[in-house]
Amino acid sequence: MTAWLCVVGIGEDGLAGLGEEARRVVARASVLIGGCRHLDLVPTVSGQERLTWPSPFAGAFDMVLARRGTPVCILASGDPMLYGIGASLSPMLAPGEMRVLPAPSAFSLAAARMGWPLQDCATLTIHGRPLEAIIPHLLPKARLLVLSEDGRSPALLAGLLTDLGFGPSRVTVLERMGGAAEHRHEGTAATWDRSDCADLNLVAIDCQAEAWALVWSCLPGLPDEAFRHDGQLTKRDIRAATLARLAPRPGELLWDVGAGCGSIGIEWMRAHPACRAIAIEANEARCALIEHNRSRLGVPGLRLAAGKAPAALVGLERPQAVFIGGGLTVDGVVEACWSALVSGGRLVANGVSLQSEARLAALRDSLGGELTRISVAQAGPLGGFDVWRPAIPVTVWSVVKP
């Protein structure tokens, strides 16, 4: 199939920075599409239709696809396949319909400016995404390259870093890289006072933590105090064992049914940036806890379905994994989850009461899987000695759908 669409990456140096092939594509396209800034970087061509992106941007894809078969060129910043329009359009097109001619990405330019090996940096974006998404990457000595939303982003990032105990971090704002107006600002997050950065910027962060900073691993089993909760919390050791059985994989969706404070869904999403989760919770106060925890622990993309299962499950995207932490003995909950679960998907349910244990035993008999009883005890004082204080044992049923 001959490509009718070509996406050309362009830098701040405009036409001068494009290769011969990219220049030829831009000049010969019947339709040239881009932002006003991109279109201003190349000269007009007689008879060529020029279109700017619509607002809201959601209409952009229909605008492009409506011209299928016509030679169309899209101008985009840097590498269009890295958080760019090329990556967004690719799933909508058949193989061979689109060619991409990239320029150096903002990340490549920033790594070169900072002298940081790019493979050792976390490359992130808050353009059109919540600021809190960077939180799982905040670790001492980590180096982050963050694409900004606009000129206000550096100050917002500096404020977030300071709030979380990363105020000593070195912050460098790189503006309009590759062009005549390129500039940089430097400082620490705690002392950052600039609010006049150019809208086109990238923030390089050399993470340094205060002694009191709460630094969480992305491995399952966060401390219980990492979550705000009302007691409805899958405790740390049980949570780690549960997530091991759920086995998060990139791109997969988890249903966290009876989510409580959202701990299972949150840790599922922290396991990999591409993991997705929906927390199903009927209690309004607990829904508020989930909203707080998902932001504070850096997974603002966790979806919340407020309602009681099984009714709240209707219409949700089918999951690759399901955790039932509440509602195990409610009629229809397990059946609805099992029916929605894709083939090869994992279902894990935990129970502590005699009734829920009986239900789990019956489910194992009918659907297979494994039953495991986990007992955890914590050392605590008794007089002048220490004793073991056992928690209520938890029965875990895990099964893979054929």
Q: Are strands 5-10 and 72-77 parallel, antiparallel or unpaired?
A: parallel
The per-residue pLDDT for 2 is 80
Count of structural domains within the chain = 3
The domain in which residue 84 lies consists of 5-103
Q: Is 191 exposed, middle or buried (0-12, 13-18, 19+ CB in 10 A)?
A: exposed
User: Same domain for 240 and 379?
Assistant: yes
Q: Is residue 231 part of a domain?
A: yes
User: Same domain for 234 and 383?
Assistant: yes
CA separation for the pair 219, 221 (Å, rounded): 7
Which residue ranges in the chain fall short of pLDDT 70? 1
All residues at 6 or more sequence positions from 362 whose CB lies less than 8 Å from its CB, including other chains: none
The domain that holds 289 is classified in CATH as 3.40.50.150
pTM (predicted TM-score): 0.89
Query: What are phi and psi for residue 38, nearest 5 degrees?
Result: -70, -45
The per-residue pLDDT for 266 is 98
Nearest to 322 by CA among 369, 374, 357: 369
Domain boundary among 80, 103, 126: 103
Residue pLDDT, tens place only, 38-47:
999 999 999 9
174's tokens: 């790189």
User: Same domain for 231 and 285?
Assistant: yes
Q: Is residue 291 part of a domain?
A: yes
The per-residue pLDDT for 326 is 85
User: Same domain for 174 and 58?
Assistant: no
User: Same domain for 267 and 373?
Assistant: yes
Q: Is residue 214 part of a domain?
A: no
User: Same domain for 258 and 380?
Assistant: yes
Q: Is residue 344 part of a domain?
A: yes
User: Same domain for 59 and 145?
Assistant: no
The domain that holds 84 is classified in CATH as 3.40.1010.10
The per-residue pLDDT for 327 is 87
76's tokens: 């985009």
